[in-house]
Amino acid sequence: MLATYGSTLCLEDVQELIKYLGIVYCLSMAHTIRDKKKLLNRLRRIRGQVEAIERLVEQEEDCSAILQTIAACRGAVNGLMAEVIEGHIRFHIVDPNHQPTSPRARAAQELIEVVQTYLT
């Protein structure tokens, strides 16, 4: 037993506390931190597309080339948005892979699919 400010903790309490702190630590590492490298690579590609749009406008290129590049850039931004929203749902709301038959997990998976369909 451990004494803490006039009370005692048994071994089971300590184990539960360690488990809780481990979960809190895991939850504090957001999906954007975990996927930081992948997200930054996508953002760098998007930046390159935006710079390409700028060059096309500066060079007074044909509007069809500009529109095509804008559409590609918009698709890339939408893909990034879908990925971050999916991570948010899985990390902060409910992971549909955890207890996949539960109503909440099924609803989360449906939401992810709708977002992906809409944005990509």
List pLDDT tens digits, range 67-89.
999 999 999 999 999 999 988 88
Q: What is the dotted CATH code of the domain comprising 35-119? A: 1.20.58.1000
Task: Kindly list the domain boundaries of the chain, sorted by start residue.
Answer: 1-31, 35-119
Where residue 57 falls among pLDDT bands split at 50, 70, 90? very high
pLDDT of residue 24: 44
User: Smallest Cα–Cα separation from 35: which of 77, 94, 86?
Assistant: 86
Rounded to the nearest 5 degrees, what angle is found at the Cα of 37, between the Cα atoms of 39 and 23?
90
Distance between CA atoms of residues 94 and 4, nearest Å: 35
Give this prediction's pTM: 0.68
